[in-house]
Amino acid sequence: MTYRLAVANEKGGVGKTTTAINIAGALAAAGHDVLFVDLDAQGNGTVGLGLEGSYTAEGTSVYDLLVDFDADVRIGDVIQPHEEFDVLPSHIDMFNAESELQTAMRGRERLWMAFEGLDVGYDYVVIDTPPSLGLLTDNALLACRNVLVPALAEDTSKHALDILFDHFDTLEGGYGVDIDPVGIIINRIEVDGEADRMVRWFEERFGGALPIWNIRNRVALKRAWANGASIFGHGETTDMDAEFRRIADHLNDRK
Ligand SMILES: Nc1ncnc2c1ncn2[C@@H]1O[C@H](COP(=O)(O)OP(=O)(O)O)[C@@H](O)[C@H]1O
Ligand SMILES: [Mg+2]
């Protein structure tokens, strides 16, 4: 069985791409077959992982897979290899995908349907999502049903998470599915009283109901990304390795 995980928060800059890459890297380092999917039209994950050529290449892409449903594009046709895991890269055309999917039949279920055509048996699929609650994020949520939520240790996170969890309810009502939050990653934690206060808020609000992981602000995460890899592929050890491994272990327990 493939376990599919969406990494989502409509707020930008909270670490969706960073955590998605490093969770994919931690799972791959533990010996699992992993597919990383970049559903953000900006393609930060794609370019970061060294696939900038795919992002602008002519020919079929994830855009065709989602929008041009009759074109007989299969998911395996657009997957690219990377040294740690396989990647379904984003494409610059994805900027037009939201509006096209708006009027398309089953426009929020395209990725879900696409996975039915995947014949490679990945252990895990990790999907990075755009900073919005549009149709692309909905495609990821409906394809996965399991969602990991990165958030900053800032007051703005409270409002962002209210909106996100309300959106899960809306999708559940509309599609008759369970959208399961898997846990919260408090990301870019700084050593200061404000961050401590917010970490306590997260624990009071979600502790007990959901696991909470703490990722500190670490330049090693940026360095790995700049080198086209997760911290596990980059080979620079940081004190955050263990926390990403804990997340991977938790996913493995749920699988
Ligand atoms: N734990 C961290 N430590 C240091 N820098 C981080 C960390 N998490 C994210 N960043 C940086 O913050 C910026 C936003 O992160 P990103 O993963 O792109 O967020 P999102 O995908 O939610 O927009 C990037 O420049 C990234 O390198
Ligand atoms: Mg991103």
Best residue among 11, 222, 243 to mutate for probing ligand 1, ranked by most atoms within 8 Å of CB:
222
Looking at residue 214, its pLDDT comes to 97
Looking at residue 121, its pLDDT comes to 86
Looking at residue 143, its pLDDT comes to 97
Tokens of 138: 């909905």
Identify the helix (H) or strand (E) that includes residue 4: strand 3-7
From the number of C-beta atoms within 10 Å of its C-beta (0-12, 13-18, 19+), residue 180 rates as: middle
Collapsing DSSP to helix, strand or coil, 216 comes out as strand
Collapsing DSSP to helix, strand or coil, 99 comes out as helix
Looking at residue 61, its pLDDT comes to 96
Q: Report CA(38)–ligand 2 centroid distance (Å).
A: 9
Looking at residue 72, its pLDDT comes to 84
Looking at residue 48, its pLDDT comes to 97
Any idea where the domains of the chain sit in the sequence? 3-254
pTM of the model: 0.97
Atom of ligand 1 nearest to the CA of 187: 1
DSSP structure string for 124-165: EEEEE--SSSSHHHHHHHHHH-EEEEEEESSTHHHHHHHHHH
pLDDT averaged per 10 residues in sequence order, the chain, 255 residues: 96 98 98 98 98 96 91 90 98 98 96 86 96 98 98 96 98 98 97 93 96 97 97 92 98 92
Looking at residue 39, its pLDDT comes to 98
Q: Which CATH architecture has domain 3-254?
A: 3-Layer(aba) Sandwich (3.40)
What secondary structure letter does DSSP report for 185? E
